[in-house]
Amino acid sequence: MMFYLGLMWEYFKNYAKTRLTYRADFWIEVVSDLAFQAINLIVILIAFRHTPTLGGWTEAEVVFVFGYFMVPYGIFSCFFDLWNFSERYIVKGEMDRVLTRPAHNLFQILLENMYPPGLIGSFVGLVIMAVTARQMGMTFDWTDLVMLLVLTAGAVMVYFGLYTALTAIGFFTDAPTGILPLMFNLQSYGRYPVTIYNRTMRFVLTWLLPFAFVGVYPASYFLERSGAADLRMALLTPAVGLVFTAIGLVVWNIGVKRYRGAGS
Amino acid sequence: MTSMYLDLIRIRFLMMLAYRVNYYSGIVIYAVNIGAYFFFWHAIYGDQEAIRGFTLAQMTTYVAVTWMARAFYFNNLDREIANEVRDGSVAIQFIRPYNYLLVKLFQGFGEGLFRLLLFMTPGLVVVCLIFPIELPRDPAVWLLYAVMLVFSFIINAELNLLTGMGAFYIENVDGLLRMKRVFIDLFSGVLVPIALFPGWLAALSEWLPFQAIAYLPSAVFTGRSTGDEALAAIGLQAAWAVVLIIPIMLMWRAARKRLFVQGG
Amino acid sequence: MQPAIEVHELRKTFKVQRNREGLAGALRDLFRREYVEVTAVKDISFTIPQGEICGYIGENGAGKSTTIKMLAGILVPTSGTVRVAGYVPWRERERFVRNIGVVFGQRSQLWWDIGVIESFRLLRKVYRVPMADYRRRLDELVERLQLGDLLNRPVRKLSLGQRMRCELVASLLHNPSILFLDEPTIGLDIVVKTEIREFLIRLNREHGTTILLTTHDLQDIEALCSRVIMLDDGRIIYDGGLDELKTRWSRGREIRLQFGEQVALERLERLTADLPGASWQAGRDMTAVLRVPADVNLSDALARVVGSGVDIRDIKFMETSTDEIVREIYKSGSASGAERLVGAT
């Protein structure tokens, strides 16, 4: 474990050195990340100019959920986003190199693709949460802080598991599947109240591609409006995270096995 | 010469066919995307009959047809050009007996044709089965829409050529391209119809070329723009398609000079 | 002493997707794909003792890379056994790979945008090399390969030769006992090639590093290898010393003669008529080539020509090059040659 933490630090240092040579790019990346979120926020703000509530949720509540959504998302995009995997590791063959190194292959790949600017989005998300919480007159105590950590960890694990499983598709087909970029669209629906969707959609977002667990479910833990059912879903977040992490790792390992020609 | 360009279309079409998984997943996920926005607008409408003259039925049709149009006109020409500039292979294109930008455009056509036949059309059928969509009954509207769709493709491709060439000036344009993409999704009206924008934003959008990509054709299709208004919309599209050639030519000329003087 | 590499009946089969032709074919591929099984490596066996430099050659697609990937633990064999440095490579991958170094000539293992030294530091951590060992090792390698002032330069600013030398350092920092080199000299100029060869010989002599290299450049083989394994279509068609390869396959020696007058071919043939297997070939500008089989004494052949009183201006002796021999072997077709060649050791 210490070994891997040490490695993470080394990789981070190399990332930082790389970025220092292209300083302008770094800021472009940060701004473009935030622009993406800003556009989505604008959609919400425009929508609320035409309605006082969205499925019974006020603007402040929806924006609070939006802010919360950015926190695990930022952590995900910093550590677990492997959008380039198929191209770089399978088509260009860098997977071979990874497999000749004495560290777990997924870990090496995650570290090589670390993207620290992603974390800036998490901070912006925290700011949005704080601002809207003040608007709503919410109070925070230390249990909320602990819960924030626990729920965020669960949400990040949902991301990790789901995306690791989807990334592993690269082992099975070297053609770009387009699933990852489109999944990107899909995940954003987890930040709207799931009650606005029909049953199928709610089912998908809760159990199949559980993006509701990276946004609205854990965020509702902090909102005054939440009833017992909301709290139950919020507390389920870590469990769903564990399940999906397990699925992700299993699929990944099957993929690696196939790559090495042991399976199939 | 013409046959070469036709061949480019054919080859790209075949290339796209090779990546089949892309499109199975694509249709499903576009449908989910449309579904999410359908429910989102449903919740926003609540008991309201119409918002800014858009009935809920119109809005549903708008969301579906706009997304499916996006499935058609969307392409990665910008990224392709940027990659070819970065890895230097664009220099080879200069010594070939053809116009590089036209080649790219025709490759885009090949992709567009594929997307129209195997993505947008079946996608629209699927979406019509799932959602309460009102298709126009007047064949003239279909005809107008078809013409406008071609302009959508051209304008979007032109913008892609333009931003792709940015790679001549900025070492790492990926961030900018990503940013452009979300801006286009917002300002073209894919996410929210421009009619719903707050006044100043709507006014701004009217002076930008982006609305010609998605909003104008969809407004005709949903029956919001009819008669002279529809013809004016086509006129505006045509105007943008022509006007955009100017910056492309200027940039191309400057890029060539830059390449010859600095050796790439 | 256990051998460095032991391979027994090794086989690797891949499933390859077949694309149908034309538009209709592509459309059908859209729904159902066809797969073909391809056997890249067909039941090969060999043993490489510690401290040997072995060349692994063959045409493109002969199965070289697939073998190397199995030996390095990247691929799992379809059948057969492999033991490298006492490990089954694919089974205990993470432990095993600390004993080997791998260089893929066409792919970099270095961080592109930052100084080479940063990549080395990272590799030290990855391989858990103690600081003192790392220092000693790096100093030695840097000195040997004359990298001193390159260490802080980003990889993208290095020439191919400089980069390849850095790749070597990167693969040797953890002092592996076995080094796999896949096309280590590809695209390099002759000076760098020579430097790298000398370095590898010294590394092998001083550290006893076992080296297995694939190459298309047979000069690499001549300069480095005491042994060659030749592969064709997934099978070993030759395994043995380089010298044996030459004597076995050499078409004999050639003597090129430059005459001062026009000499008829019949006259020359008469001179060596009593030598079995000797043959003549007339060249341009009053030259001729005498080909002598390996079992005929060269001086005998020469004496017959010189003593005959023809006006000879120049004499050149030529031996068939490894290049030609190898080309000859591939041309002659492997199957029949295989039986003759395997077991030559």
Select the more confidently predicted residue: A128 or C242: A128
**Both C287 and C236 in a single domain?**
no
With tokens 């060596």, the residue in question is C272
| Structure confidence at residue A264 (pLDDT) | 44
Select the more confidently predicted residue: C291 or C236: C236
Backbone dihedral angles phi then psi of residue B79, each to the nearest 5 degrees: -70, -40
Whether A104 sits inside 8 A of C94 (CB atoms) is yes
Backbone dihedral angles phi then psi of residue A136, each to the nearest 5 degrees: -85, 0
Beta bridge partners of C101: C179
Nearest Cα of chain B lies from the Cα of A194 at a distance, in angstroms, of 10
Picking from C197, C231, C247, the residue at the C-terminal end of a domain is C247
Tell me which chain C residue has its CA closest to the CA of residue B22.
Answer: C30
Whether C117 is covered by a domain: the verdict is yes
| B15 in C contact zone (CB under 8 Å) | no
**Both C197 and C304 in a single domain?**
no
With tokens 């391979």, the residue in question is C7
Select the more confidently predicted residue: C51 or C21: C51
**Both C235 and C192 in a single domain?**
yes
Read off the pLDDT of each residue in A162-166 and give the average, rounded to a whole number. Answer: 92
Q: Which of C14, C76, C122 has its CB closest to that of A14?
A: C122
Task: Please say if the pLDDT value at position A53 is more than 50.
Answer: yes
Burial class (CB in 10 A: 0-12, 13-18, 19+), C275: middle
What is the pLDDT of chain C when averaged over all its residues? 84
To the nearest 10 degrees (0 to 180), the angle between helices A2-21 and C116-126 is: 170
CB A167 within 8 A of CB A29: no
Read off the pLDDT of each residue in A113-132 and give the average, rounded to a whole number. Answer: 92
Tell me which chain C residue has its CA closest to the CA of residue B12.
Answer: C23
Q: Which of C76, C95, C97 has its CB closest to that of A101?
A: C97
Q: Write out the two tokens for C313.
A: 């201006």
Chain C residues touching A97 at Cβ < 8 A:
102, 104, 107, 109
Tell me the pLDDT band of A149, cut-offs 50, 70 and 90: very high
Q: Which of C17, C30, C31 is most worth mutating to test chain B (most B CB atoms within 10 A of its CB)?
A: C30
Whether B18 sits inside 8 A of C19 (CB atoms) is yes
Read off the pLDDT of each residue in A34-63 and give the average, rounded to a whole number. Answer: 91
CB B217 within 8 A of CB B149: yes
Select the more confidently predicted residue: A141 or C46: C46
| Structure confidence at residue B238 (pLDDT) | 96
| A7 in C contact zone (CB under 8 Å) | yes
| Structure confidence at residue C80 (pLDDT) | 93
Whether A262 sits inside 8 A of C73 (CB atoms) is no
Task: Please name which of C302, C155, C320, C206 lies closest in space to residue C253, comparing C-alpha atoms.
Answer: C320
| B35 in A contact zone (CB under 8 Å) | yes
**Both C263 and C243 in a single domain?**
no
Whether C41 is covered by a domain: the verdict is no
Q: Write out the two tokens for C98.
A: 């600390």
| B83 in A contact zone (CB under 8 Å) | no
Nearest Cα of chain B lies from the Cα of A155 at a distance, in angstroms, of 21
Tell me which chain B residue has its CA closest to the CA of residue A55.
Answer: B43
Read off the pLDDT of each residue in A238-261 and give the average, rounded to a whole number. Answer: 94
* Euclidean distance between CA atoms A233 and A202, whole angstroms: 13
Chain A residues touching C104 at Cβ < 8 A:
93, 96-97
Q: Which of A6, A92, A102 has its CB closest to that of C94?
A: A102
Nearest Cα of chain C lies from the Cα of B18 at a distance, in angstroms, of 7
Tell me the pLDDT band of C339, cut-offs 50, 70 and 90: very low
pLDDT, one tens digit per residue, over C141-188 is: 999 888 888 888 888 888 888 999 999 999 999 999 999 998 888 888
| Structure confidence at residue C149 (pLDDT) | 84
Lowest pLDDT segment from A150-164, B236-250, C282-296: C282-296
Q: Write out the two tokens for B179.
A: 């940013």
Q: Which of A17, A93, A102 has its CB closest to that of C114?
A: A17
Whether C345 is covered by a domain: the verdict is no
Tell me which chain C residue has its CA closest to the CA of residue B10.
Answer: C23
CB B75 within 8 A of CB B15: no
Tell me the pLDDT band of C338, cut-offs 50, 70 and 90: very low
* Euclidean distance between CA atoms C171 and C166, whole angstroms: 9
CATH of the domain at C305: 3.30.70.980
- Secondary structure percentages of chain B, helix, strand, coil, to 5: 80, 0, 20
Whether C23 is covered by a domain: the verdict is no
Interface of B with A in 183-212 (CB under 8 A): 183, 185-186, 191-192, 196-198, 201
Task: Please say if the pLDDT value at position A218 is more than 90.
Answer: yes
How many domains would you assign to chain C?
Answer: 2
Select the more confidently predicted residue: A26 or C259: C259
Chain A residues touching B192 at Cβ < 8 A:
43, 46-47
Share of chain A above pLDDT 90, in %: 48
H or E, element range at B101: helix B100-115
Residue C187, sorted as left (phi over 0), alpha (psi -120 to 50) or beta, turns out to be: left
Chain C residues touching B14 at Cβ < 8 A:
23, 26
CA C88 to the chain's CA centroid: 24
Structural domain boundaries, residue C86: 50-247
Tell me the pLDDT band of A263, cut-offs 50, 70 and 90: low
Q: Which chains touch A (3 or more CB pairs under 8 A)?
A: B, C
Low-confidence ranges of chain B (pLDDT < 70): 1, 19-22, 260-264
* Euclidean distance between CA atoms C329 and C311, whole angstroms: 38
| Structure confidence at residue B99 (pLDDT) | 82
Task: Please name which of C171, C183, C174 lies closest in space to residue C145, comparing C-alpha atoms.
Answer: C171
Chain C residues touching B18 at Cβ < 8 A:
19, 26, 29
Tell me which chain B residue has its CA closest to the CA of residue A42.
Answer: B186
What residues have CB less than 8 Å from B72, skipping those under 6 apart? B112, B115, B116, B119, B120, B149, B152, B153
Read off the pLDDT of each residue in C270-292 and give the average, rounded to a whole number. Answer: 83
Task: Please say if the pLDDT value at position C340 is more than 60.
Answer: no
Residue type, C9: E
CATH of the domain at C205: 3.40.50.300
Task: Please say if the pLDDT value at position A20 is more than 80.
Answer: no
Whether C207 is covered by a domain: the verdict is yes
**Both C269 and C120 in a single domain?**
no
Nearest Cα of chain A lies from the Cα of B14 at a distance, in angstroms, of 14
Task: Please say if the pLDDT value at position C341 is more than 50.
Answer: no
CB B58 within 8 A of CB B134: yes
Whether C74 sits inside 8 A of A100 (CB atoms) is yes
**Both C161 and C274 in a single domain?**
no
Lowest pLDDT segment from A52-56, A148-152, B232-236: A52-56
Full-model pTM: 0.80
Q: Which of B192, B196, B197, B215 is most worth mutating to test chain A (most A CB atoms within 10 A of its CB)?
A: B192
Whether C218 is covered by a domain: the verdict is yes
Lowest pLDDT segment from B237-246, C6-15, C87-96, C254-263: C254-263
Read off the pLDDT of each residue in A61-80 and give the average, rounded to a whole number. Answer: 94
How do the domains of chain B map onto residue ranges?
A: 2-262
Beta strands in chain C (DSSP E): 5-18, 34-48, 53-58, 79-84, 100-104, 178-182, 210-214, 227-232, 235-241, 253-259, 279-282, 287-292, 312-319
Tell me which chain A residue has its CA closest to the CA of residue B33.
Answer: A186
| Structure confidence at residue C150 (pLDDT) | 87
Tell me which chain B residue has its CA closest to the CA of residue A189.
Answer: B36
Whether A99 sits inside 8 A of C78 (CB atoms) is no
Lowest pLDDT segment from A44-53, B98-107, B129-138, C12-21: C12-21
DSSP A116: T
Tell me the pLDDT band of C291, cut-offs 50, 70 and 90: confident
Beta bridge partners of C289: C256, C281
Whether A7 sits inside 8 A of C114 (CB atoms) is no
**Both C146 and C274 in a single domain?**
no
Cα distances (Å, whole numbers) of residue C234 to C6, C237, C342: 17, 9, 14
What residues have CB less than 8 Å from C130, skipping those under 6 apart? none
Picking from C247, C269, C295, the residue at the C-terminal end of a domain is C247
Select the more confidently predicted residue: C251 or C202: C202
* Euclidean distance between CA atoms C345 and C339, whole angstroms: 13
Task: Please say if the pLDDT value at position C120 is more than 80.
Answer: yes
Lowest pLDDT segment from A171-185, A193-207, A244-258, B32-46: A171-185
Tell me which chain A residue has its CA closest to the CA of residue C92.
Answer: A102
**Both C55 and C140 in a single domain?**
yes
- Both ends of chain B: CA-CA distance in Å? 28
Whether B17 sits inside 8 A of C27 (CB atoms) is yes
**Both C178 and C95 in a single domain?**
yes
* Euclidean distance between CA atoms B196 and B51, whole angstroms: 8
Q: Which chains touch B (3 or more CB pairs under 8 A)?
A: A, C
What number of other Cβ atoms are within 10 A of residue B64's Cβ? 31
Q: Pairing state of beta strands C178-182 and C210-214?
A: parallel
CB C53 within 8 A of CB C211: yes
| A3 in C contact zone (CB under 8 Å) | yes
| A225 in C contact zone (CB under 8 Å) | no
Chain A residues touching C14 at Cβ < 8 A:
261
pLDDT, one tens digit per residue, over C206-230 is: 999 999 999 888 888 888 998 999 8
**Both C223 and C279 in a single domain?**
no
| Structure confidence at residue B215 (pLDDT) | 95
Picking from C247, C269, C285, the residue at the C-terminal end of a domain is C247
CB B24 within 8 A of CB B119: no
What is the pLDDT of chain A when averaged over all its residues? 88
Whether C106 is covered by a domain: the verdict is yes
Whether C336 is covered by a domain: the verdict is no
| Structure confidence at residue C336 (pLDDT) | 43
* Euclidean distance between CA atoms B232 and B210, whole angstroms: 16
